[in-house]
């Protein structure tokens, strides 16, 4: 008897997945990146958060229309196949399984390791790292990657052994991770307004060297914000396991995305109200937490941040574990008979999960070698936390275009206006990523006397991986479970 994925998740879990996956490590360490990119200009930083959020919201709303119509095994692949075609869907699925999900998981696992090490250092200042490396005030030594690797394995194992525990953790982590964000949003703004720090920091934006910025500053900030917003598309991977998916998935996509956008903007203002801008740029958001809540509570905040990162890691590993399975059930990709298997006791695609873990580990090591060390890969050093944005948004565009052409039963607004807005958002994000990353040498490589154009070499790697995927494609009759 063929084993199928069960309807085991409700609307609350779907919303928790969006909020829990999107709100994770990015909002905590990309806040500093946005301040650096904008040279401390708060107005430009807020604009970056708004632009990144609008792109996410426009795409989420466009996909919510598709979610109300298509429901099979994996949302994005279902939309790609039904609207564009089977061959296109295969390459979307191959990209998600080999690059997007595992790369995202590897970076988030490292971030969880980084904040764990920072918590240990804050709680015990005498703790000595084997190799102490600092970047913008953040510890990025090998201890971070070791702890991150432990987290990576742990959450893939939890997802494959007990998906119910993983689902419950996702909801719990979502609630917990909102605590530091909401506290900072409220008390940070109150603190800053009461002692004048907020006003001073906004005035700082108009000072001689911080008011006039070129487009590269804004676009670089938007790309950093985009990483903090990434992950919302992951929730479409559970549409076959979501109760009343045609109703609940659109609600989850739109409401979850809008909630994240509002939280991010108020959190950013709160952080920038807790300390002078130049100090936040140097030391990161934790200096604001320490100033506002004191040293002890500031240290405890690390626990909430770690849980926040782990909530994101849990959700992304959840999606990555279904990467190869989503291809296998269509009788495509390598060894579909193996990766399409469902464990009868856990109702999980175990073999697909193990492959997702392998890909995630590879990208995690790459992230450390290319971004946090002296640059292990020569010209092929690029930021795999941000550059996959180019290809994921490029993949969305044909889906939106053909949706407008083929789906005539929708009204004018849903069929024409919504996809056009989403396409504009995708094009903007692609341009912003290329402009901010591709028109200048990669910073760390430049520091070591090398020159490269990261976008070009990322695309080389992307096309090589796609060619490997072409070898495994089996254009046979699909086999939906």
User: What string of DSSP letters covers 199-260?
Assistant: HHHHHHTTSTTTS---HHHHHHHHHHHHHHHTTGGGGGGGTTTBTTHHHHHHHHHHHHHHHH
- Give the per-residue pLDDT at 375: 72
Burial 399-419 (b: 16+ CB within 10 A, else e): bbebbbeebeebeeebbeebb
Tokens representing 198 are 């907020």
**pLDDT-based confidence at residue 420 (cuts at 50, 70, 90):** very high
* Burial (CB count <10 Å: 0-12, 13-18, 19+), residue 216: middle
Higher pLDDT, 175 or 94: 94
CA–CA distance from 251 to each of 11, 399, 452 (Å)?
Answer: 8, 20, 43
Pick the closest to residue 59 from 396, 414, 463 (CA basis). 396
Angstrom distance (rounded) from CA 466 to CA 461: 9
User: What mean pLDDT do residues 24-29 have?
Assistant: 70
Burial 321-357 (b: 16+ CB within 10 A, else e): bbbbbbbbbbbbbbebeebbbbeeeeebbbbbbebbb
- Give the per-residue pLDDT at 447: 41
Pick the closest to residue 74 from 228, 226, 249, 247 (CA basis). 249
Tokens representing 95 are 């990209």
**pLDDT-based confidence at residue 74 (cuts at 50, 70, 90):** low
Percent of the chain past pLDDT 70, that is, above it, reads 79
Tokens representing 371 are 């971004």
Q: Residue 9 carries which DSSP code?
A: B
Angstrom distance (rounded) from CA 270 to CA 368: 30
**pLDDT-based confidence at residue 132 (cuts at 50, 70, 90):** very low
Structural domains of the chain in order of their starting residue, each with its CATH number:
11-472 (1.20.1740.10)
Question: Which residues neighbour 416 within 8 Å (Cβ) at sequence distance 6 or greater?
Answer: 404
Angstrom distance (rounded) from CA 350 to CA 345: 11
CA–CA distance from 363 to each of 316, 329, 431 (Å)?
Answer: 14, 25, 24
pLDDT at 152 over 80: yes
Tokens representing 285 are 């958001």
The 10s digit of each residue's pLDDT in 76-100 is 788 888 889 889 999 999 999 999 9
pLDDT at 136 over 80: no
- Ranges 194-198, 215-219, 420-424, most confident: 420-424
**pLDDT-based confidence at residue 242 (cuts at 50, 70, 90):** low
Tokens representing 50 are 């708004």
- Give the per-residue pLDDT at 344: 75
Max CA separation in the chain (angstroms): 72
- Give the per-residue pLDDT at 3: 45
Question: Which residues neighbour 360 within 8 Å (Cβ) at sequence distance 6 or greater?
Answer: 101, 102, 103, 105, 106, 109, 152, 156, 317, 320
The 10s digit of each residue's pLDDT in 440-468 is 444 444 443 444 568 888 899 999 999 99
User: What mean pLDDT do residues 8-36 have?
Assistant: 73
The number of beta carbons lying within 10 Å of the beta carbon of residue 65 is: 22
User: What mean pLDDT do residues 298-316 have?
Assistant: 81
Angstrom distance (rounded) from CA 304 to CA 310: 10
Higher pLDDT, 250 or 404: 404
User: What mean pLDDT do residues 54-73 have?
Assistant: 75
User: What mean pLDDT do residues 423-431 have?
Assistant: 90
Angstrom distance (rounded) from CA 96 to CA 326: 10
CA–CA distance from 140 to each of 27, 30, 144, 152, 198 (Å)?
Answer: 18, 15, 6, 17, 30
Check: CB of residue 69 under 8 Å from CB of residue 236: no
pLDDT at 214 over 70: no
- Give the per-residue pLDDT at 441: 41
Angstrom distance (rounded) from CA 257 to CA 232: 7
Whether the CA torsion 367, 372, 378, 380 is positive or negative: it is: positive
User: What mean pLDDT do residues 260-274 have?
Assistant: 90
User: What mean pLDDT do residues 381-408 have?
Assistant: 88
Check: CB of residue 370 under 8 Å from CB of residue 339: no
Question: Which residues neighbour 451 within 8 Å (Cβ) at sequence distance 6 or greater?
Answer: 441, 445
Q: How far is CA 359 from the centre of its chain?
A: 16
Question: What is the radius of gyration, based on Cα positions, of the chain?
Answer: 22
The 10s digit of each residue's pLDDT in 102-119 is 998 898 898 888 888 878
Angstrom distance (rounded) from CA 128 to CA 124: 9
Q: 């495509």: which residue's tokens? A: 332
Q: Residue 335 carries which DSSP code?
A: -
CA–CA distance from 435 to each of 74, 136, 219, 452 (Å)?
Answer: 32, 23, 7, 14
């Amino acid at each position: 008897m063929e084993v199928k994925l069960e309807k085991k998740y409700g609307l609350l879990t779907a919303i928790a997945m969006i909020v829990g996956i999107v709100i994770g490590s990015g909002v905590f360490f990309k806040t500093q990146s946005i301040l650096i990119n904008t040279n401390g200009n708060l107005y430009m930083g807020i604009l970056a958060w708004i632009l990144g959020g609008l792109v996410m919201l426009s795409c989420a709303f466009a996909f919510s229309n598709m979610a109300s119509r298509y429901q099979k095994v994996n949302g994005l692949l279902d939309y790609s196949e039904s609207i564009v075609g089977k061959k296109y869907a295969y390459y979307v699925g191959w990209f998600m399984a080999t690059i997007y999900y595992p790369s995202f998981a590897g970076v988030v696992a490292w971030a969880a390791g980084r904040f764990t090490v920072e918590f240990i250092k804050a709680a015990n200042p005498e703790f000595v790292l084997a190799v102490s490396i600092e970047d913008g005030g953040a510890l990025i030594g090998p201890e971070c990657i070791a702890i991150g690797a432990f987290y990576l394995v742990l959450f893939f194992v939890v997802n494959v052994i007990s998906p119910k525990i993983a689902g419950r953790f996702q909801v719990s982590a979502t609630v917990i991770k909102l605590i530091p964000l909401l506290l900072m949003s409220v008390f940070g703004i109150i603190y800053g307004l009461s002692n004048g720090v907020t006003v001073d920091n906004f005035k700082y934006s108009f000072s001689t060297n911080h008011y006039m910025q070129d487009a590269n500053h804004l676009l670089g900030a938007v790309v950093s914000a985009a990483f903090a917003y990434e992950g919302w598309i992951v929730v479409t991977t559970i549409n076959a396991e979501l109760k009343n998916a045609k109703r609940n998935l659109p609600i989850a996509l739109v409401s979850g995305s809008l909630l994240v956008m509002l939280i991010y903007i108020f959190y950013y203002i709160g952080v920038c109200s807790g300390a002078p801008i130049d100090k936040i740029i140097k030391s990161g958001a934790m200096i604001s937490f320490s100033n506002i809540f004191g040293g002890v509570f500031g240290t405890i905040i690390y626990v909430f941040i770690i849980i926040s990162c782990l909530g994101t890691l849990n959700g992304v590993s959840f999606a990555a574990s279904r990467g190869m399975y989503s291809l296998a059930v269509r009788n495509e990709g390598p060894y579909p008979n193996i990766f399409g298997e469902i464990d009868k006791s856990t109702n999980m695609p175990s073999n697909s999960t193990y492959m997702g873990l392998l890909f995630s580990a590879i990208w995690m090591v790459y992230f450390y070698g290319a971004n946090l060390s002296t640059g292990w890969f020569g010209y092929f050093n690029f930021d795999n936390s941000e550059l996959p944005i180019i290809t994921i948004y490029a993949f969305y565009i044909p889906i939106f275009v053909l949706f407008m052409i083929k789906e005539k039963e929708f009204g004018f607004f849903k069929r024409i206006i919504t996809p056009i807005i989403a396409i504009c958002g995708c094009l903007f994000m692609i341009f912003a990523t290329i402009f901010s990353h591709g028109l200048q040498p990669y910073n760390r490589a430049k520091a070591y006397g090398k020159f490269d154009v990261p976008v070009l070499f990322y695309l080389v790697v992307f096309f090589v991986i796609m060619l490997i995927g072409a070898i495994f494609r089996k254009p046979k009759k699909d086999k939906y479970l």
